[in-house]
């Protein structure tokens, strides 16, 4: 059996260490969750960091109203299955002004 730590495993271990350190040393941490691939990896790392316990901090989704309905359904399903606290924020001013990536880009 080969017990060498691969580079990827080393990176995973370091990421888990950082997540645990944040949870231990900061008063109200929150992890942003966009429902994308990078956020999904971070969610999995947080699960691994605290397994078998729950993730001890909430996840926050900034809802731009530009996600597909299937992505929101996936977010809700993950929330139920993994049992994490989810904070959803929508910028009412952005909605009121119809700010969108096609017309505004990163100018706003």
| pLDDT-derived band at 107, boundaries 50, 70, 90 | low
State how far the Cα of 77 lies from the Cα of 17, in Å rounded to an integer: 27
Class of domain 7-96: alpha beta
What spatial distance separates the first Cα and last Cα of the chain, rounded to whole Å? 55
User: pTM of the entire structure?
Assistant: 0.81
pLDDT of 102 higher than 70: yes
Mean pLDDT to the nearest integer, 68-93: 91
Q: Say what the pLDDT of residue 3 is.
A: 65
| pLDDT-derived band at 76, boundaries 50, 70, 90 | very high
Mean pLDDT to the nearest integer, 3-8: 80
- Every domain of the chain and the residues it spans: 7-96
Q: Say what the pLDDT of residue 48 is.
A: 97
- How are strands ordered across the β-sheet holding 59-62? 31-32, 59-62, 86-89
Query: For 25-48, what is each residue's pLDDT tens digit?
Result: 999 999 999 999 999 999 999 999
Q: Say what the pLDDT of residue 93 is.
A: 85
């Amino acid at each position: 059996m080969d017990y060498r730590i691969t580079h990827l495993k080393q990176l995973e271990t370091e990421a888990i260490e950082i997540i645990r350190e944040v949870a231990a040393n900061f008063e109200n941490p929150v992890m942003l969750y966009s429902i994308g691939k990078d956020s999904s990896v971070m969610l999995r790392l947080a699960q691994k960091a605290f397994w078998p316990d729950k993730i001890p901090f909430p996840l926050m989704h900034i809802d731009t109203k530009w996600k597909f309905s299937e992505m929101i359904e996936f977010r809700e399903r993950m929330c139920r299955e993994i049992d994490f606290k989810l904070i959803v924020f929508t910028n009412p001013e952005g909605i009121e002004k119809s700010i969108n990536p096609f017309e505004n880009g990163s100018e706003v």
